[in-house]
């Protein structure tokens, strides 16, 4: 994935019920545009956007998936190879929040994840611009659900007024960077252990060989 000449390419999948604003989030992030009359996505759509973090530029390939059940067979083949999954709900729609577990389970199954911690999940509560009387999901509820499901990244956004949209994607990439760094460290430890075992084996073989020569 990493190259001396190309930016790291990260595949980001946005999941959630229809109408929570997945397409609006993607378009606000990529082109800084908002269309409240946009139609529901049919199947999948994707756009690219570069994002710089700590001097490194990452190219995000953002996949917006249809939230309706009838499009399940169209969206699930695109889950494989994902680097980041954004679980999205609307804070004025309690049902979309309750369905996050269904979306996470669907993604994990079709992405063939053996461990839900293998890639970063980020929970996004969209439509934070709605008035307080229309809010159905509190920030505390979101944070509690994330803690119970071992998800460390969550944020409220508004695609309509652009609140926290850039921050949501930045948070997702930073989470991915942390996981990659942790994986690299673990791999280094494993390699060192293997090399140490190999060296010990070589020493034992040499000693045995030496004893054999002296006997003869």
- Count of H helices and E strands in the chain? 6, 6
pLDDT of residue 206: 42
User: Whole-angstrom Cα distance, residue 162 to residue 160?
Assistant: 6
**Residue 208 binned pLDDT confidence (cut-offs 50, 70, 90):** very low
**Residue 72 binned pLDDT confidence (cut-offs 50, 70, 90):** low
CATH number for the 9-184 domain, one of 3.10.20.30, 3.40.718.10, 3.40.50.300, 3.40.640.10? 3.40.50.300
Mean pLDDT, the chain, integer: 83
The answer to whether residues 87 and 104 touch, using CB atoms and an 8 Å cutoff, is: yes
Average pLDDT estimate for 63-76: 68
Name the residue among 64, 79, 73 with its Cα closest to residue 126: 64
Residue 135 has pLDDT above 90, yes or no: yes
| pTM (global) more than 0.75 | yes
SS3 state of residue 67: coil
43 Cβ partners below 8 Å, 6+ apart? 65, 66, 71, 74, 75
pLDDT of residue 195: 55
Poorest-confidence range of 106-110, 135-139, 196-200? Answer: 196-200
User: Whole-angstrom Cα distance, residue 17 to residue 6?
Assistant: 34
**Residue 64 binned pLDDT confidence (cut-offs 50, 70, 90):** confident
pLDDT of residue 209: 46
**Residue 120 binned pLDDT confidence (cut-offs 50, 70, 90):** very high
DSSP symbols for 114-147: S-TTSS-EEEEEE-TTS-GGG--S-HHHHHHHHH
**Residue 116 binned pLDDT confidence (cut-offs 50, 70, 90):** confident
Poorest-confidence range of 16-25, 55-64, 177-186, 201-210? Answer: 201-210
**Residue 34 binned pLDDT confidence (cut-offs 50, 70, 90):** confident
Give me 160's structure tokens: 């309509």
pLDDT of residue 115: 79
**Residue 149 binned pLDDT confidence (cut-offs 50, 70, 90):** very high
Cα–Cα distances in angstroms (integers) from residue 23 to residues 44, 193, 195, 202, 209, in the given order: 10, 47, 49, 59, 69
Q: What percent of the chain has pLDDT over 90?
A: 59
């Amino acid at each position: 994935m990493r190259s001396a000449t190309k930016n790291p390419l990260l595949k980001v999948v946005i999941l959630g019920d229809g109408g929570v604003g997945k397409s609006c989030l993607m378009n606000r992030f990529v082109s800084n545009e908002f269309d409240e009359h946009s139609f529901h996505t049919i199947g999948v759509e994707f756009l690219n956007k570069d994002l710089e973090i700590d001097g490194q530029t990452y190219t995000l390939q953002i996949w917006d998936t249809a939230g309706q059940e009838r499009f399940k067979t169209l969206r699930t083949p695109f889950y494989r190879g994902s680097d980041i999954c954004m679980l999205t709900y609307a804070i004025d729609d309690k049902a979309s929040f309750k369905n996050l577990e269904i979306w996470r389970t669907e993604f994990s199954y079709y992405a063939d994840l053996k461990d839900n911690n293998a890639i970063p999940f980020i929970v996004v509560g969209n439509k934070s611009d709605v008035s307080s009387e229309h809010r159905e999901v509190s920030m505390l509820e979101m944070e509690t659900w994330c803690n119970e499901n071992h998800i460390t990244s969550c944020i409220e956004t508004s695609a309509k007024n652009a609140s926290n949209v850039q921050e949501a994607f930045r948070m997702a990439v930073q989470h991915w960077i942390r996981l990659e760094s942790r994986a690299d460290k673990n791999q280094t430890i494993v390699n060192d252990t293997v090399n140490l075992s190999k060296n010990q084996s070589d020493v034992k073989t040499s000693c045995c060989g030496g004893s054999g020569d002296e006997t003869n």
